[in-house]
């Protein structure tokens, strides 16, 4: 089968590789659609932290935002999974440690991360093998486009949940990338007044098209009372700025990661009685995200700017923008036999 392989910083190619086989407790999924995210770009550039901690190494087969159809089940797996449209969890814990038994497999010290950590081949390929325990069914109300946006949506759903927004609250989301915009959509679904902070007019105009109440730069941000700030950027200075902006007694949620260390003054945190929450993974938010997509409360599909073929990915990772791409931040790959929809 064909799969994307990153062989070194700045080097990626499509290779013919062996098809996966479903081991005990596993399934093989025919991937229909997958997404590219910032983590994938960092693997291509060589900046991804796991490359420097020993949790990942080249060559690596990336891809952790996906939707597909189960085509093979391994020993011990219910055959009812065959033919099911599914997506799956990225974080695969050991299943035995204290964290896993408490439902915190996404922070298991021995976890694998699909297409990211521990050498587990990812979903930017025609097929992928995953544990059946990681699967989530997709209803007919969640098409392949939305299905491949469940993983980033789970991060956003958890971020908004952590913000503890009530209808009428005012929420500021910093960083209008995929996660930030999904946070904005989930916050609007929760009844909040949502504003977005960004840099480029193109990204801010796109945020406005999604129905946010305001889209601002740091220079134009109005002096308003923010009941929650969700920091979803990669800017090292914005975590501290988020703490400055949020109302005393309210919440800051940190879901973005900068490429260099960012700092906050914990004296400000304590003296203003602010609650700060960090969000690592979509895992506990996957089911709720699928429900939100299925009900129509959140529609993530406008975020997809273009859908390309697997062969186009090396250029996309190198920074090429597909011809005719829309204004959204997300690039998808179609692996359906009939070609790109």
Q: What is the pLDDT of residue 15?
A: 97
Residue 190 and residue 269 share a domain: yes
What is the gyration radius of the CA atoms in the chain, in angstroms?
20
Strand ranges for 220-290 from DSSP E:
226-231, 246-254, 275-278
Residue 132 and residue 8 share a domain: yes
pLDDT tens for residues 110-145?
Answer: 999 999 999 999 999 999 999 999 999 999 999 999
Residue 138 and residue 54 share a domain: yes
Instruction: Judge whether 75 lies within some domain.
Output: yes
Tell me which H or E stretch contains 197: strand 193-197
Is there a cis peptide before residue 296, judged by omega within 30 degrees of 0? no
pLDDT tens for residues 315-324?
Answer: 999 999 999 9
> What CATH number has the domain bearing residue 85?
3.90.180.10
Percent residues over pLDDT 90 in the chain: 97
Exposure of 57 by Cβ count < 10 A (0-12 exposed, 13-18 middle, 19+ buried)? exposed
Cα–Cα distance, 205 to 216 (Å, whole number): 10
337 confidence band (pLDDT: 50, 70, 90): low
Q: Indicate whether 171 pLDDT > 80.
A: yes
pLDDT tens for residues 181-224?
Answer: 999 999 999 999 999 999 999 999 999 999 999 999 999 999 99
Residue 204 and residue 67 share a domain: no
Q: Indicate whether 54 pLDDT > 50.
A: yes
Strand ranges for 78-126 from DSSP E:
85-88, 91-92, 112-113
**Neighbouring C-beta atoms of residue 189, cutoff 10 Å:** 18
Q: What is the pLDDT of residue 338?
A: 42
Q: Indicate whether 340 pLDDT > 60.
A: no
Residue 329 and residue 267 share a domain: no
The domain tally of the chain equals: 2
pLDDT tens for residues 75-119?
Answer: 999 999 999 999 999 999 999 999 999 999 999 999 999 999 999
Render 175-232 in DSSP notation, one character per residue: --SHHHHHHHHHHHHTT-EEEEE-S-HHHHHHHHHTT-SEEE-TTT-----EEEEEE-
Residue 323 and residue 274 share a domain: no
Cα–Cα distance, 217 to 194 (Å, whole number): 15
Please compute the mean of the pLDDT values over residues 275-300 and round it to a whole number.
97
**Neighbouring C-beta atoms of residue 103, cutoff 10 Å:** 10
Nearest to 177 by CA among 231, 239, 115, 118: 231
Residue 145 and residue 7 share a domain: yes
Percent residues over pLDDT 70 in the chain: 99
Cα–Cα distance, 259 to 278 (Å, whole number): 16
Q: Which domain holds residue 98?
A: 2-149+300-334
What's the mean pLDDT when you consider all of the chain? 96
Please compute the mean of the pLDDT values over residues 239-261 and round it to a whole number.
95
- Provide the whole-model pTM: 0.95
339 confidence band (pLDDT: 50, 70, 90): very low
Please compute the mean of the pLDDT values over residues 148-174 and round it to a whole number.
98
What is the DSSP pairing of strand 11-16 with strand 112-113?
unpaired
Residue 158 and residue 48 share a domain: no
Give the torsion through C-alpha atoms of 27, 31, 33, 39, to 10 deg: 70
Q: Indicate whether 260 pLDDT > 90.
A: no
Residue 143 and residue 170 share a domain: no
Residue 232 and residue 270 share a domain: yes
Please compute the mean of the pLDDT values over residues 22-47 and round it to a whole number.
97
What three-state secondary structure class fits 225?
coil
Q: Is 118 left (phi over 0), alpha (psi -120 to 50) or beta?
A: left
Please compute the mean of the pLDDT values over residues 55-75 and round it to a whole number.
98
């Amino acid at each position: 089968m064909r799969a994307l392989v990153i062989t070194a910083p700045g080097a990626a190619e499509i290779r013919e590789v062996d098809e996966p086989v479903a081991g005990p407790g596993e399934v093989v999924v025919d991937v229909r659609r997958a997404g590219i995210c910032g983590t994938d770009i960092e693997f291509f550039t060589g900046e991804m932290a796991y490359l420097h901690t020993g949790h990942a190494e080249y060559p690596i087969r990336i891809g952790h935002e996906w939707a597909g159809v189960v085509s093979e089940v391994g020993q011990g797996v219910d055959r009812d999974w065959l033919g099911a449209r599914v997506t799956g969890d990225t974080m695969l814990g050991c299943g035995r440690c204290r964290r896993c038994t408490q439902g915190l497999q996404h922070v298991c010290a021995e976890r694998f991360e699909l297409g990211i950590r521990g050498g587990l081949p990812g979903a930017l390929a025609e097929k992928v093998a995953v544990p059946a325990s990681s699967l989530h069914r997709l209803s007919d109300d969640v098409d392949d486009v939305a299905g491949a946006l469940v993983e980033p949506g789970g991060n956003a759903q958890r971020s908004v949940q952590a913000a503890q927004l009530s209808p009428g609250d005012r929420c500021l989301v910093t960083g209008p990338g995929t996660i930030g915009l999904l946070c904005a959509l989930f916050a609007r679904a929760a009844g909040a007044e949502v504003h977005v902070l960004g840099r480029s007019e193109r990204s801010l105009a796109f945020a406005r098209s999604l129905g946010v109440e305001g889209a601002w730069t740091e220079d134009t941000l109005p002096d308003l009372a923010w009941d929650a700030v969700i920091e979803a950027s990669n800017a090292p200075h914005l975590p501290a700025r988020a703490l400055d902006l949020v109302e005393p007694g309210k919440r800051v949620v940190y879901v973005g990661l900068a490429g260099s260390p960012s700092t906050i003054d914990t004296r400000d945190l304590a003296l203003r009685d602010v609650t700060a929450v960090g969000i690592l993974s979509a895992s506990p938010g996957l089911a709720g995200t699928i429900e939100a997509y299925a009900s129509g409360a959140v529609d993530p599909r406008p975020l997809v700017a273009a859908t390309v073929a697997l062969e186009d990915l090396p250029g996309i990772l190198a920074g090429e923008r597909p011809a005719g791409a829309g204004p959204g931040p997300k690039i998808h790959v179609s692996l359906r036999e009939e070609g790109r929809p």
